[in-house]
Amino acid sequence: MKKLALLLALLVIPALIFAGGKQEAAKQAGPRTVTITVWARANNVEHWRADAAVEAAKLLNEELKKEGKQITVVVKADYSNPPWGDYKKKFTMAADAGEGPDIICSGHEDVPVWAQAGYIMPLANSVSEIQGMYPEFKDVFDSLWNAGMWHGKIWAVPQDTEARPMFFSKTKLKELGWSDKQIAELPDKIKNGEFTLDDMINTAKEAIAKGVVKPGYGYWHRPRKGGDFLQYYVSYGGYLYDPEQDKLVLVKDALEKWYAFQRKCVTSGITPKNYIGTEWKIWHDTVSHNKVLFWNGGIWQWADWKVNYLNGDEDFLFKNVGYALQPSGIRGKKGNTLSHPLVYMVTTEKASGHKDRDLVIRLLAKMTTKEINTKHAVESTHLGILKSQMDYKPYKDSKFLSDVTYMLNYNWYQPNHSGYSVWFDIVWNGMTAAENGEKTPKEAVESVVKQLKLELGDSIIIK
């Protein structure tokens, strides 16, 4: 009997609590607080990606007060710095469980996947429509809206953008016998396609032969998986996407040349053997202390080096480090760089479990101001996204940012296509196999083509 009573109690109590919870939710009139959660992937110098919302909420609350609305917006800003895959997994699972944040900051390439799954909501049907929504949105560079475009709708608000330069050691080039003028001209030469990837390999080889840098320290690419490598695919004339047909593309010839380039870096001794997979911390420590001749990275790493590896000594960087576009593989073809704009997406009611989507978008507009965005841009060395920023003093004062802004004229984006993740993984695996010499570039290309056809079927064009 006792047990039965206990069981009954166990069943009844939760029901009571549940009923109580419902009642509370029912009374909604009067003053209310709206909690808006923002997730961003950021390290300690990029925290404004999330904290921008906290600042913006202050502005928004003032406005709401003026309008006489009894709504207070409270922002929960959460940022962490796991690998992208982990971060996206967290979001996918949370959104699917109806536990997602209201605003998610991620790469623009997530738009098609998450839109298709119903996690994020479309914001507008055209660039002009979104520009008309809030004055802040009008200030955003038109071209950046395209990064958040998918199937004719705009799904995302730009957060920042960047360029991925080829860094080089000015002091090491000088030791090699280059004149100051030659060094200063290098970025232009790369831009115009006069200094190619082959030239880079030869220069690095020479530097090693003359003992300017240690063997294997001539050229360091990104040590881990990332879109950066595709810059060389593009350097050899490759492209990723056919917007007309909305299909992914693989250019076999460019792919093979790119794979051959990666392999040549190793065989010519400018990149260490089995180099892919080097610890990031070791990589940062090495390149920021001026031990490598050429290395490809991203402009945001500048802030990371300065703050986390050089105790704030930016002068050391300016003295030693130069930056240019990624050299072309074909003489005369312009240099290029990959931009990977991060964007804010607004989750659906279902994915977040919250209403008040209008308020969320309004908060986003308040986050898109030159004051707030510039804090992020300068502190984390990312490029701005607003027209007004270009004349805004705190932004202009950053020498590094001014130096690299021109690169945006030579940039390209990864495609917004739901099969891109599969495309990328396969191409990446092919590259590592080629670079490590497990397959010849040709074999690697063949294997890649086979897999792409198998896994992507109709959505891939092989050229």
Q: Is the distance from CB of 168 to CB of 323 less than 8 angstroms?
A: yes
Of 297, 351, 279, the closest CA to residue 110 belongs to 351
Q: Does 179 bind other proteins (CB under 8 A)?
A: no
Of 350, 434, 423, 455, the closest CA to residue 94 belongs to 350
Judged by CB under 8 A, the residue of 132, 135, 277, 394 near other proteins is 277
Which amino acid type is present at position 41? R
Taking the complex as a whole, the smallest distance from the CB of residue 376 to other proteins amounts, in Å, to 16
Q: Does 290 bind other proteins (CB under 8 A)?
A: no
Q: Is the distance from CB of 366 to CB of 384 less than 8 angstroms?
A: no
Tokens matching residue 66: 């003026």
Taking the complex as a whole, the smallest distance from the CB of residue 321 to other proteins amounts, in Å, to 18
Q: Does 447 bind other proteins (CB under 8 A)?
A: yes
Nearer to other proteins, 53 or 197 (CB): 53
- Say whether 186 sits in a helix, a strand or coil: helix
Place of tokens 């004051």: 371
Taking the complex as a whole, the smallest distance from the CB of residue 43 to other proteins amounts, in Å, to 5
Q: Is the distance from CB of 431 to CB of 232 less than 8 angstroms?
A: no
Backbone angles phi, psi at 239, to 5 degrees: -145, 165
Q: Does 187 bind other proteins (CB under 8 A)?
A: no
Nearer to other proteins, 413 or 424 (CB): 424
Judged by CB under 8 A, the residue of 134, 316, 318, 428 near other proteins is 428
Judged by CB under 8 A, the residue of 6, 8, 9, 14 near other proteins is 14
Taking the complex as a whole, the smallest distance from the CB of residue 106 to other proteins amounts, in Å, to 8
Give the integer Cα–Cα distance in Å for 95 and 91: 6
Q: Does 35 bind other proteins (CB under 8 A)?
A: no
Place of tokens 């003032």: 62
Q: Which of residues 305-334 bind other proteins (CB under 8 A)?
A: 307-308, 311
Judged by CB under 8 A, the residue of 55, 102, 109, 256 near other proteins is 109
Q: Does 69 bind other proteins (CB under 8 A)?
A: no
Judged by CB under 8 A, the residue of 48, 79, 232, 261 near other proteins is 79
Show Cβ contacts of residue 423 under 8 Å, excluding neighbours closer than 6 positions.
240, 248, 250, 417, 452, 456, 460
Q: Does 83 bind other proteins (CB under 8 A)?
A: yes
Give the integer Cα–Cα distance in Å for 456 and 22: 47
Judged by CB under 8 A, the residue of 438, 442, 462, 463 near other proteins is 438
Judged by CB under 8 A, the residue of 418, 427, 431, 441 near other proteins is 418
Of 332, 308, 306, the closest CA to residue 320 belongs to 306
Give the integer Cα–Cα distance in Å for 235 and 126: 32
Q: Does 436 bind other proteins (CB under 8 A)?
A: yes
Q: Which of residues 41-60 bind other proteins (CB under 8 A)?
A: 43-45, 47
Of 53, 172, 138, the closest CA to residue 103 belongs to 53
Judged by CB under 8 A, the residue of 87, 141, 294, 302 near other proteins is 87
Binding residues with other proteins: total (CB under 8 A) = 75
Judged by CB under 8 A, the residue of 36, 73, 105, 110 near other proteins is 110
Give the integer Cα–Cα distance in Å for 93 and 420: 20
Q: Using alpha carbons only, what angle is made at residue 125 by residues 121 and 128, rounded to the nearest 5 degrees?
A: 125
Tell me the HSE value of 109 on the side-chain side, using a 13 A CA sphere: 21
- Say whether 189 sits in a helix, a strand or coil: helix
Taking the complex as a whole, the smallest distance from the CB of residue 253 to other proteins amounts, in Å, to 21
Nearer to other proteins, 127 or 422 (CB): 422
Judged by CB under 8 A, the residue of 8, 12, 93, 209 near other proteins is 93
**Judged by CB under 8 A, which stretch of 63-71, 124-132, 196-204, 304-312 contacts other proteins?**
304-312
Judged by CB under 8 A, the residue of 198, 246, 371, 455 near other proteins is 455
Judged by CB under 8 A, the residue of 8, 12, 70, 118 near other proteins is 118
Q: Is the distance from CB of 73 to CB of 61 less than 8 angstroms?
A: yes
Taking the complex as a whole, the smallest distance from the CB of residue 260 to other proteins amounts, in Å, to 20
Q: Using alpha carbons only, what angle is made at residue 372 by residues 367 and 378, rounded to the nearest 5 degrees?
A: 135
Judged by CB under 8 A, the residue of 63, 86, 315, 397 near other proteins is 86
Q: Does 155 bind other proteins (CB under 8 A)?
A: no
Of 306, 289, 230, the closest CA to residue 262 belongs to 230
Nearer to other proteins, 217 or 395 (CB): 217
**Judged by CB under 8 A, which stretch of 24-32, 39-47, 260-268, 370-378 contacts other proteins?**
39-47
Give the integer Cα–Cα distance in Å for 297 and 310: 17
